[in-house]
């Protein structure tokens, strides 16, 4: 697990559900050279964590709101 993924899980473990941009604002150092690039990278890590069953989408609405699930898939 990357340091960025650990920061994402730590951010979501503080309670509640957050938009991708709000998670990206709390994950440092910034990946890439712009906020847009950093947010896209965070979304990519969120999708990977979702595939592992560690995070999930709150619902099917847009913008996507993420929450911690704690159910790892093997």
pLDDT band at 62 (very low <50, low <70, confident <90, very high): confident
Q: What is the pLDDT of residues 23-53, one digit of tens each?
A: 999 999 999 999 999 999 999 999 999 999 9
How far is the C-alpha of 68 from the C-alpha of 55, rounded, in Å?
A: 4
- For residue 61, the model assigns a pLDDT of 83
How far is the C-alpha of 28 from the C-alpha of 74, rounded, in Å?
A: 28
Asked, as a colleague might, if the bond just before 63 is cis with ω within 30 of 0, I would say yes
Domain ranges of the chain: 3-68
CATH dotted code for 3-68: 1.10.10.10
22: which residues sit within 8 A by CB, 6+ positions away?
none
Q: What is the pLDDT of residues 1-27, one digit of tens each?
A: 999 999 999 999 998 899 999 999 999
């Amino acid at each position: 697990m990357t340091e960025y993924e650990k920061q994402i899980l730590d951010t979501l473990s503080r309670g509640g559900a957050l938009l991708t941009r709000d998670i990206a604002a709390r994950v440092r150092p910034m990946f890439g050279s712009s906020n847009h690039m950093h947010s896209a990278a965070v979304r990519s890590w969120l999708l990977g964590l979702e595939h592992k069953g560690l995070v999930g989408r709150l619902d099917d609405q847009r913008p996507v709101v993420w929450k911690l699930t704690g159910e790892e898939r093997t």
